[in-house]
Amino acid sequence: METKRLRIAMQKSGRLSQDSQALLKSCGLKINLREDRLIAHVENMPIDILRVRDDDIPGLVMDGVVDLGIVGENVLEETMLERQALGLSVEYKTLRRLDYGDCRLSLAIPQEQVWSGPESLAGARIATTYPNLLKRFLAEQGVKFKPVMLTGSVEVAPRAGLADAICDLVSSGATLEANGLKEVQVIYRSKATLIQAAQELPADKQALVDKLMPRLQGMLQARESKYIMLHAPKDKLAEISALLPGAENPTIMDLAGDTNHVAMHVVSSESLFWETMEKLKALGASSILVLPIEKMME
Ligand code: ATP
Ligand code: MG
């Protein structure tokens, strides 16, 4: 079905919903959200937000039913393998990897068990929501196993006697520990990502995407950058610049009533660790300020 409005699919409720919504809002979209609605209209641009389960997002994009989607790479990759096996289209374009939704898909076994590499799992029953990623990994290792497909509560499967090991998403590891499991092998690292349908968009929709991408880029770049101001002794400028990541062209200004020091302003590509601040100070820098940046455009 063709629509004039750009369609973006994102998770309705879950770990990626808040950050995804906030990111789109920060790009200037006024989203009129009604919790119970599948479709949210963007008031100030011809965009509709489709709010669905994250598992459905890659398929919606690959089938060209929506134009863009925000989804975890883990779900994207799993769906791709599943669709490939079914002979369905697996084409899409990655527009930008995002800076949230960090997690890893890992193998975990009961704490008391000995781990001597993936071959320890030969013949084991492994519970997972990601059978295709697991199969790919263990096939590469030459290990045969019995998949136990679970869409939830994977971490209780060993205790419940349903499986010998699990392959599940981990961020801190606290859930594993609480269930008497230990993480023994990472098989996939994931973040949220913004993808686009493979087929060409109508010109007006593409123009809208082209307008949004620099904004998104600017937001993400601003989030990982800092504005750093400090006073520096004139004879230490090179050494000080060398300590500031991404500070090739600092702004240097005279200080009123002080001919030995200058004010130095830089946009740094990362935040400063305390250790770096201490080194700057040791070089004679003072009044060191590290400020967040709200937006940027190159
Ligand atoms: P849905 O109802 O949309 O199917 P879900 O239960 O499958 O939701 P969530 O638990 O909300 O999914 O996780 C969504 C995505 O968030 C994951 O696929 C993954 O990319 C990411 N994520 C980040 N950290 C974690 C974590 N600790 N555990 C699970 N997923 C995580
Ligand atoms: Mg899901």
Residue ranges covered by each domain of the chain: 6-100+192-222, 103-190, 226-292
Ligand 1 atom closest to residue 170's alpha carbon, by position in its atom list = 27
How close is the Cα of 17 to the center of ligand 2, in Å?
12
In this structure, the strands spanning 103-110 and 165-170 are antiparallel
Q: Output the CATH code of domain 103-190.
A: 3.40.190.10
How close is the Cα of 194 to the center of ligand 1, in Å?
15
Ligand 1 atom closest to residue 74's alpha carbon, by position in its atom list = 20
Ligand 1: does its nearest atom lie under 6 Å from the Cβ of 54?
yes
pLDDT at residue 32, rounded to an integer: 87
Ligand 1: does its nearest atom lie under 6 Å from the Cβ of 169?
yes
Query: What is the best residue among 20, 54, 71, 191 to mutate for testing ligand 1's pocket, by most ligand atoms within 8 Å of CB?
Result: 54
pLDDT at residue 143, rounded to an integer: 97
Question: Which ligand ends up closest to the CA of 75?
Answer: 1
How close is the Cα of 14 to the center of ligand 1, in Å?
6
Compute how many other C-beta atoms are within 10 angstroms of the C-beta atom of residue 246: 13
pTM attached to this predicted model: 0.91
Q: Would you say the CATH fold of 103-190 matches that of 6-100+192-222?
A: yes
In terms of CATH, what superfamily is 6-100+192-222? Periplasmic binding protein-like II (3.40.190.10)
Ligand 1 atom closest to residue 72's alpha carbon, by position in its atom list = 20
* 223 close to 270: Cβ distance less than 8 angstroms: no
Closest Cα to atom 7, ligand 1: which residue?
54
List CB-based neighbours of ion ligand 2 within 5 Å. Answer: 54-55
Q: Could you say which residues of the chain have pLDDT below 50?
A: none
Closest Cα to atom 23, ligand 1: which residue?
101
pLDDT at residue 119, rounded to an integer: 96
pLDDT at residue 270, rounded to an integer: 84
Closest Cα to atom 13, ligand 1: which residue?
15
ipTM of the complex in this document: 0.97
pLDDT at residue 2, rounded to an integer: 61
End-to-end CA distance of the chain: 37
- Amino acid at position 135, single letter: K
Cα–Cα distance, 156 to 29 (Å, whole number): 41
CATH 3.30.70.120: does it fit domain 226-292?
yes
